[in-house]
């Protein structure tokens, strides 16, 4: 099992998928098959349906079950790519459709909430320089970058005078795009870059995947009411764009979404945003 999973990991990295999550779900799937004497090469549609049913019986949310379905589909695409299965052999794994999920925004943070978390992190996280903590967290917050996009950035991709950077391929959508950030963040990034030379073969911020996940996990200790993750920072950026009434087509470009429908989840305003916009637009009406 470990050999095929290692190959699958390499495949996921090349395709720029969320390696850790997909790999974990594929491992759960293969362990289930092994425990039930089923080969992943000869599993029948009926046996696959039993596995999906077992996930539902374990009280997993529809969203989580969908995550397993997507991971397994990718696993069989991978098997075809290495000639373990014939082209088209993955079709039975599309007979089970994704479950209906309520499209809603998960945890998101305001700038004020993040400032409190950053301040605590700068005071109490000893293994990371304070400038790194503040710059990296706010960079994610004001750009909404995916982890893979952050890790692919090079310093030559930045234009700090224009407060922008280029996200180059490989990205999730395989298209280059330009991101922007506030002037104060350009100044922070410039200090960061000046204080730490770029390490050969590393990204702009000299962060590995393990290091960035470590930082976020440590900062999460100072967030008692919500779970801080890289994805929650991306959600926060999407919500920030909506709260500032940024045109949804512009937000789609900034977030790197293929479909505007994905962007629209951020434009379903909560009561605080509704109240603010109402007061700004109609609060002074007579």
Contact indicator for 179, 254 with CB cutoff of 8 Å:
yes
Q: What is the pLDDT of residues 141-155, one digit of tens each?
A: 999 999 989 999 999
What are the CB-based long-range contacts (under 8 Å, 24+) for 154-160?
154/198, 154/203, 154/204, 155/193, 155/198, 155/204, 157/204, 158/189, 158/193, 158/204, 160/186, 160/189, 160/190
Query: CB within 8 A of 201, min separation 6: which ones?
Result: none
The structure tokens listed for 118 are 């950053």
- What pLDDT, on the 0 to 100 scale, is given for residue 286? 65
Contact indicator for 82, 91 with CB cutoff of 8 Å:
no
- What is the spatial distance between Cα 257 and Cα 239, in angstroms, rounded to a whole number? 14
Q: What are phi and psi of 138, to 5 degrees?
A: -70, -30
Enumerate the CATH 1.10.443.10 domain ranges in the chain, comma separated: 111-269
pLDDT confidence of 72, banded at 50, 70, 90?
Answer: very high
The structure tokens listed for 64 are 């989580």
- What pLDDT, on the 0 to 100 scale, is given for residue 96? 80
- What pLDDT, on the 0 to 100 scale, is given for residue 172? 54
Cis status, amide bond into 170, omega within 30 of 0: yes
Rounded to an integer, the average pLDDT of 94-112 is: 79
- What pLDDT, on the 0 to 100 scale, is given for residue 136? 97
CATH fold, domain 2-94, is DNA polymerase; domain 1 (1.10.150)
CATH fold, domain 111-269, is hpI Integrase; Chain A (1.10.443)
The structure tokens listed for 215 are 């930082």
Enumerate the CATH 1.10.150.130 domain ranges in the chain, comma separated: 2-94
Q: Helix, strand or coil for residue 177? A: strand
Q: What is the pLDDT of residues 192-233, one digit of tens each?
A: 999 988 887 789 999 999 999 999 999 999 998 889 999 999
pLDDT confidence of 104, banded at 50, 70, 90?
Answer: low
Dihedral angle over CA of 227, 228, 233, 234, nearest 10: -50
Q: Lowest-pLDDT range, 220-234, 250-264, 266-280? A: 266-280
Q: What distance, in Å, lies between the first and last C-alpha atoms of the chain?
A: 71
């Amino acid at each position: 099992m470990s050999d095929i999973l290692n190959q699958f990991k390499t495949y996921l990295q090349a395709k720029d998928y969320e390696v850790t999550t997909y790999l974990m779900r594929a491992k759960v799937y293969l362990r289930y098959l092994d425990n039930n004497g089923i080969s992943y090469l000869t599993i029948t549609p009926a046996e696959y349906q039993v596995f999906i049913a077992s996930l539902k019986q374990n009280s997993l949310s529809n969203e989580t079950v969908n995550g397993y379905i997507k991971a397994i589909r990718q696993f069989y695409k991978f098997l075809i790519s290495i000639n373990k299965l014939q082209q088209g052999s993955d079709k039975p794994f599309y007979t089970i459709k994704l479950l209906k999920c309520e499209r809603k925004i998960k945890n998101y943070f305001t700038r004020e909430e993040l400032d409190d978390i950053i301040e605590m992190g700068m005071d109490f996280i000893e293994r990371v320089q304070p400038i790194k903590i503040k710059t990296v967290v706010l960079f994610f917050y004001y750009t909404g970058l995916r982890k893979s996009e952050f890790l692919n950035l090079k310093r030559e991709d930045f234009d700090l005078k224009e407060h922008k950077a280029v996200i180059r391929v490989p990205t999730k959508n395989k298209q280059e795009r330009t991101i922007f950030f506030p002037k104060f963040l350009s100044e922070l990034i410039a200090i960061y870059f000046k204080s730490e030379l770029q390490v050969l073969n590393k990204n702009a911020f000299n962060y590995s995947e393990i290091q960035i996940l470590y930082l976020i996990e440590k900062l999460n200790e100072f967030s008692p009411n919500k779970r801080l993750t890289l994805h929650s920072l991306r959600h926060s950026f999407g919500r920030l764009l909506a709260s500032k009434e940024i045109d949804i087509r512009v937000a789609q470009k900034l977030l790197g979404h293929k479909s505007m429908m994905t962007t629209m989840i951020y434009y379903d305003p909560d009561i605080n945003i509704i109240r603010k916009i109402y007061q700004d637009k109609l609060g002074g009406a007579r």
